[in-house]
Amino acid sequence: MYRALIVEDDPAAADVLRAHLARFGAERGAEFSVEALSSALEFLERRPTADIVFLDIGLPGISGMEAAEVMRQTDTVTPIIFVTDLAQYAVRGYQVDALDFMVKPVEYEDFSLRMGRAMRVIERNAERTVAVPTADGVRVVAQRDIIYVEIFRHDLCWHVTGESEPLHARGTLTAVAEGLGSERFCRISASYLVNMGQLRLIRSESVVMSNGDELPISRRRRKDALDALTRYVGGSI
């Protein structure tokens, strides 16, 4: 099942997109869970996990374009499709790596054409998985859903979005870090490997993850970790 997020202050426009997604999924044999938010502020505060984001530019308060700029500081992967009656903003959209634009009112034929392109990106992102050998069997987890991995008394605890409890496995954090790579994951201490795409706050001595957990950055790794974290978000501390 793919997760679609609609950020739209007009309930009727959100319903149109929801209906288009249901029709598209039925035609393509794909299933979508859909969540709709009415403001960019709620979107930025909650940051729900999604495989694709439909973002209205003309939102009240914080605009969709501004929200996309903030989102791209920590998430360079999830496709964004702007849905707007402000077609003149199309050029600016490419500054935040928007996948596409749909102009209101969105007709299904146009929606289907653009979603066909978006699905190739969504499926490519979904293919990046890791196998976690737990006591109950091997769990296949999308890399982007991993919040962080910690090691405790030789046991690995995988904290994953959508899981009420961490997945437990045997192994070493060094081997996990090598397997996942450094493009998205950063070792902040001997005990923690964090997914930089799941960061919510970077402090000088700790990070806050998307599930609210605050993890300490060790003194020995602080400089390298902060350098990696700030490079990923494209900012400074």
Q: In this predicted model, which residue has the larger pLDDT, 195 or 87?
A: 195
| pLDDT number for residue 235 | 45
* Eight-class DSSP state of 87: G
CATH 2.70.210.12 assigned to 130-233? no
C-alpha–C-alpha distance, residues 221 and 189, integer Å: 6
Is a pLDDT exceeding 90 seen at residue 89?
Answer: no
What single letter denotes the amino acid at residue 158? W
Element of type H or E holding 124 = helix 108-126
What single letter denotes the amino acid at residue 53? V
| pLDDT number for residue 62 | 94
For the entire predicted model, the pTM comes to: 0.60
pLDDT-derived band at 183, boundaries 50, 70, 90:
confident
Instruction: Specify which residues 173 forms β-bridges with.
Output: none
Is a pLDDT exceeding 70 seen at residue 236?
Answer: no
pLDDT in tens, 10-45: 999 999 999 999 999 999 999 899 999 999 999 998
Nearest to 188 by CA among 232, 125, 128: 232
Q: Which two tokens stand for residue 156?
A: 């690995």
C-alpha–C-alpha distance, residues 205 and 201, integer Å: 11
pLDDT in tens, 128-161: 778 888 887 888 788 888 999 999 888 999 999 9
DSSP readout, 194-231? EEGGGEEEE-SSEEEETTS-EEEPPTTTHHHHHHHHHH
SS3 at position 161: coil
CATH 3.30.365.10 assigned to 2-126? no
pLDDT in tens, 190-231: 999 999 989 999 999 999 999 999 999 999 999 999 999 988
Write down the domain spans for the chain.
Answer: 2-126, 130-233
Q: Which two tokens stand for residue 207?
A: 């990070």
